[in-house]
Amino acid sequence: MPTVDARPFPFAFELNTTALLVIDMQRDFLLPGGFGESLGNDVAQLRRTIEPLTVLVNAWRAAGLPIIHTREGHLPDLSDCPPAKLKRGPMIGQEGAFGRVLIRGEYGHDIIDELRPAEGEPVVDKPGKGAFYATDLHKILDNEGIRSLVVTGVTTEVCVHTTVREANDRGYECLVLADCVGSYFPEFQQAGLRMIAAQGGIFGWVAESPALIKEIAR
């Protein structure tokens, strides 16, 4: 059984029941001049994940293992946008540098070119922070017999954390890769990762991607 050096202790997993989850690597969040930067955020904090995540995705594909991508966004009429979210996100649906902000089908809503999904890789469109809320993700995973998730993407303390917590409640074991998740706020990045691995791995494990790549390449 492959085993990855991780916190709080090594993460052991079966290759045939493990999927890579790539969360919200979208232009609206990562591109200079986009929605994320328009809020005053430093997109370089997120863009540092692109290179290691690209290496990981390529290795994962080469091993023939499943990859699932997610995109946060809404229908053009915003009918699927929770009222509390819309109230706190007044730019949602408004015109931005890359089209209407967080609207499905717009240029900014789609995944960055470097991590474009390959043919056959599911893309889960989600209206909330977590990847399980109002989506078919659990059904997709269950149909494939997936029991463990390698979690990557942005942002660490919001969509990544929410998804890991949702996954934990559903019985999935999660390995979060520190170099492949990112936050606009370095202090949130560190705190978010510590929370996942705290108390004996209350939500999951934390590791670096080279340790995982070494195991899947054996």
Return phi, psi of residue 87, to 5°. Answer: -65, -35
Is 126 annotated as catalytic?
yes
Q: Both tokens of residue 11?
A: 């993460």
Residues 6+ positions from 84 with CB-CB distance below 8 Å: none
What phi-psi label fits residue 99: left (phi over 0), alpha (psi between -120 and 50 degrees) or beta?
left
SS3 52: helix
Active-site hit among 28, 110, 159, 180: 159
End-to-end CA distance of the chain: give it in Å, rounded.
11
Is 24 annotated as catalytic?
yes
Q: Both tokens of residue 146?
A: 């997936």
Active-site hit among 81, 126, 129, 174: 126
Give the C-alpha separation, 172 to 142, whole Å.
10
Catalytic residues: 24, 126, 159
